[in-house]
Each structure stands twice: as C-alpha cells, then as structure tokens.
Structure 1
Amino acid sequence: MPSMRDSNGRCAHMLAAGLVQSAIGTLPKPLQHFGHALYSPVANGQDINVAHALVWLTVDLGECTAKRKEVAYWMALAAIKSHQAAVNGREAWGPGRVVEFVHDWYGTKVSVSHWARDWAAIWAAIASTVDTLDAKALKPVAAVIVKMAERRVFGTSRWDLYDREHVADLRAEAYAARRDASRSALHARLNAMGTEQLRRWFRRMNAYGAAYRREWGSDTQENPGRHLVYSDRISEYWSQRQRVGDVTKRVA
C-alpha cells in the first residue's frame, strides 16, 4: 500500500539487505571478513587483520628473499587499502603512496626510482590476488543483485532469461526415470476419487493446462520429450472424463 512513510521502500530495502546478508553468510569466514574490510562501513580491526592474512597466505610471490618478503607483507595491507579506495570511487594507490605506507607502518624505505625493477612484479601479484579474492567474496552477492534486477520488470526473471529450457530438460530426465510409477500412482489416486473430488481435479487441470500452454506454446509439440509430465496428466484427464460420463456432461 502506498504511504507517506514509504513503507514499501523500507520493506524492499530490508528484503534486499536480508538477501545480501544471507548470501554473505554462505561464504567461508575469511572471505566474509575480507568483504567486510573492503565494503562494510563498520569494518573493524578483526576484518582488516583477517583480510591481510588471507591475502598474504594466498599470494604467490615466487622466489623472494626474506627481506623482500617482509616488505611485501606490508604491501599486502597497502594493496587492500588501495583496492578499498578504488571500489569506493577514489584513485588506486601509486608507487609513491605504497612506499609511504610501508615506511609509516614498518619503517623500511623503498626506492620509488627502482620500483619497476624491484617491486612492480610483487605489487602486481599482490594486487591480482586481492582482485581474485574480491571476485570470490562478491560472487554470491552479485547473484542476488542480478536476480533482483531481473525482477524489476514484470514478467522477466532468471528462469525466462537463462535457465528455462535447461531446467525443463533436467526435470524431464528425472521424470522419465520414474514415469511408469508416477503414472500408475496418479491413475490409482484418481480412480479412488468420488465424483465431486474429480470435478475439483478437472477444474484444476483445466487451469493447469491453460497456464502450461501459455508458457510453452508450440514447444509442447516440437519437443514432446521435455513435456512428459504435462502430456501424461492431460492423457489421464481425458481418460477419467471418459470413465465417468456423467461428469463429462457437467464439467466444461
């Protein structure tokens, strides 16, 4: 209902927030902290520490001396800060800012003039690792955003755009494996129904058949193997109507 307090907007926001939080909850704990460190306005020290450790334990620096690894360790934290700036619309850090950060945090001076020779490859490896971890952390959230965006236009959904025929084929394969048993069970259930029960079932089948034909159209004839459930139900529908002739006369 429209209201001056925008209750619809608040409900939609809470729904979206709940879906995003649920998606984040599916991530491993270290990736959750990594995502919080980059995107959460209330990220804490634990988030930063876990994110830093995750980057450091994930990155492959190849052959590297102990002293260079010490500097690279703090470059990993600088890379997180740089990526955080980039995702928030600011400029990513350049060599000068990274060198300044390492000196402030660790007290080691790194020559900017020798950056391309000594540190560019290490920084590129660390930054690439941060990008990869960021993509992993955002994957379930991105899936939620895509689904929500598709449903902004009435009548469109992921089912229509991507999965429709694939899922229908999978369902058809699963049904084919149990088809005989399913048809026998449906036949036995309908034979046990009384006249009034069958009338109600006929009405439901009419609505089901109309909706199914609207959705699939000529595909029901062009790819009959995909629609075995539908065809078996329709066949049983006509079989039951012929079995009880008095119902046939009364039910459209």
Structure 2
Amino acid sequence: MKLISARQAWREALHESRDSVLAAAQERSRLGKKGRVVGETMPSMRDSNGRCAHMLAAGLVQSAIGTLPKPLQHFGNALYSPIANGQDINVAHALVWFTVDLEGYPAKRKEVAYWMALAAIKSHQAAVNGREAWGPGRVSEFVLGWYGAKVDTSHWARDWATIWGIIAGAVDSLDAKALKPVAAVIVKMSERRDPNRCRWELYDREHVADFRSERYAVRRHATQKALRARLDAMEVSQLRRWFRRMNLYSTAYRAEWGSDVVENPARHLIYLDRVTEYWNQRQRVGDVSRQVA
C-alpha cells in the first residue's frame, strides 16, 4: 500500500488486495482441488513482507481515522470506504444537513434541499474519484427519484444555485476535516530522510528518551535489584554470553547517542545502570580487580 493521497489511503486502508473468496474457489475448481495439501505454498503467503508493509500503513491510517469524531468517521467512510454501509450514508447525510445554514428559506425549499444534501454527497464522491460532478439535471433527477419532488432546472441559477452552493460548500468543508488526520500521516511518512529511518526518529528521539527515563526512574531501584538478582543466579558461562551481548549493545548505543550519554546522563539511566551492573559482574567473576567507571 502506497500512501499517495489521503483519499486513496482511506480507501486502501480498509481494503486488502487479494483474490475474492469466489475467485479462489474458481481457481481451486479449475485445478480440480477440494482443499489444501499439507506443505503447499499458497500465493497469498509469497509476499509476506508486502503484506506486513500494507498492514503497517493501513494501521497508521485506521488509527488516524479513529481520532475523528464518530460522525466524521461515517462521513469519510460514506465517501471513500469500500465497505460503506447504510449507516455511513445516513450519518453523512444528517451531518451535512445539520451543518448547512438555510435560515430564511421557505419550508418547501428546505424540504427539497434536504434531499439535495444527499445528492451533494454523491456528486462530491463522483468528483473526487475522477468522474464528472453532478449538474442541475442529475440533481433534479435524483431528488425526483428519492423524494418525488420536481426541481425546475430552467431557473436553476435563480432558484437553486445558491442553495446548492451552500450545501456543496458544507460537503467540501466536512471532507477537509475528515481527511486532515489521514493527510498528516502521509506527510509524516513522506518526510523520511532515509528509507529505513523516519523523521520521528531523527527529530523527536530526545523527547522520547527523556520520557522513557522519567518512567524508568520511578521503578529504578526495583529494576536494578531484579537485574542484579538475575545475573547473580547465572553461571559463569551464561554471564560471559551476557557480557558479549552487553558489549554489542554498548557499542551500538554509543554510536547512536555519542557524547550525549555524558552530557545528559539523566536521559540515559537505563543504559548507564546496565553498564554499572556489567562492571559489577565482571568484578565478581574476577575479570577486573576493581570497578571501572
């Protein structure tokens, strides 16, 4: 799944690109198969990395959608979800209707405008998907089919253009609000400086490290005690394997943080406590005669 636009991301985050159940059944029937054979390689399992990448991107988008108020979620689903249902359409219609301000218009006009609100959603959906937006004739046909009222398009500019403009503007505004958190996800993911690193890791890691150390400080004494007890219970051969892992960990940590470990020790409490215990254990097994800072 590629994050190209907010609308595309919303649609594809709720859709998995794989054969339908009927297509899979047809393929099995063509091959004369009645089930799976033990050890058989299934086509859907070949691209596991692609599936994982799709699920990650879809999860980020779905999480962003979940931050919206429920009515806006239904509104966005009505426009972009491949599994939109009647509830999505009904809530979207009601949301548009309660958003528009048609104060001062006659009651008869408002009755027709209520169904024009649903037509505006359909028109907007067509426009954002590359089709032609609805004109007066299509709107009139829709209202006639749903409500039974005939909208005279011969004087559209005089009688209905303003109302249609108000409703269409409300749909545009709601669409922008619904897409905002999804667009933010796309912007964040598109600002990757390196294919394997995200902007979040480059610019916000100090904040995350500070927060992690603050949380660790609350349980620091108990954690130190538990680590020491676990290491004291190890045999020498087990400890030496732990020493090797600690050397690799320390090298990688120093390479990432550099002099910040010395300049801001409160930010690196977890690392420093592990290093301290490393030297304590080295001294215990006789590798060093005294603890080295």
Same fold (TM over 0.5): yes
Q: Is the 8 A contact 1:55 1:130 kept in 2?
A: no
Query: What's the CA shift for 1:56?
Result: 3.2
2 CA distance for matches of 1:153 and 1:206? 27
In structure 2, the CA distance between the partners of 1:11 and 1:180, relative to structure 1 (3 Å rule), is closer
1:216 deviation in Å?
1.9
Deviations 1:103-156, CA, capped at 9 Å, x for gaps: 554424264223565553344234323433x327xx46974x668767895421
Q: Which range moved further: 224-233 or 195-204?
A: 195-204
Select the residue among 90, 97, 101 that pairs with 1:61: 101
- The alignment partner of 2:213 has SS state of helix
In structure 2, the CA distance between the partners of 1:162 and 1:51, relative to structure 1 (3 Å rule), is farther
**2:267 is aligned with 1:226:** yes
Which one is further off, 221-230 or 115-124?
115-124
Q: CA RMSD in A?
A: 3.9
Instruction: Determine if contact 2:112/2:143 at 8 Å carries over to the other structure.
Output: yes
What is the identity, as a one-letter code, of the residue corresponding to 1:76? A
Which residue of the partner structure matches residue 89 of structure 1?
130
**1:207 match:** 248
Q: Which of 124, 132, 141 is the matching residue for 2:169?
A: 124
Q: Distance in 2 between matches of 1:96 and 1:165?
A: 59
Structure 2: tracts of 5 or more residues without a match: 1-42
Shift of 1:84: 1.0
Where 2:131 maps in the other structure, the secondary structure is coil
> Which one is further off, 164-173 or 188-197?
188-197
1:182 to 201, 219, 223: 223
Partners of 2:170 and 2:238 lie apart in 1 by 69
* Deviations 1:42-77 (CA, angstroms, capped at 9, x unpaired): 6555553443234335x2526355334323322221
Residue 151 of structure 2 corresponds to which residue in structure 1? Answer: 109
Paired residue type of 1:12: G
The answer to whether the 8 A contact 1:80-1:130 is kept is no
| Matched letter for residue 103 of structure 2 | E
Question: Percent of aligned positions with the same letter in both sequences?
Answer: 60
Contact 2:117–2:167, Cα closer than 8 Å, also in 1: no
Structure 2-normalised TM-score? 0.63
Distance 1:222 1:18 in 2: 36
AA partner of residue 131 (structure 1): A
Report how far residue 236 of structure 1 moved: 1.3
Give the counterpart of 1:20 among 38, 58, 71.
58
Would you say the 8 A contact 2:76–2:179 is kept in 1? no
**1:169 and 2:210 aligned:** yes
TM-score (norm 1): 0.71
Which letter does structure 2 place at the counterpart of 1:236?
E
Q: Give me the whole-angstrom Cα distance separating, in 2, the residues matched to 1:118 and 1:213.
A: 65
SS of the residue 2:281 aligns to:
helix
Deviations 1:71-114 (A, max 9, x none): 33222212211221232123544667545644554424264223
Instruction: Give the aligned partner of residue 7 of structure 2.
Output: none
Corresponding residue number in structure 1 for 2:20 = none
Provide closer, same or farther for how the CA distance between residues 148 and 127 of structure 1 changes in structure 2, counting only shifts above 3 A: closer
* Residue of structure 2 equivalent to 1:198: 239
Q: How many residues align?
A: 239
Going from structure 1 to structure 2, the CA distance change for 1:14 and 1:154 (only over 3 Å counts) comes to closer
Change (3 A) 1:167 1:92: farther
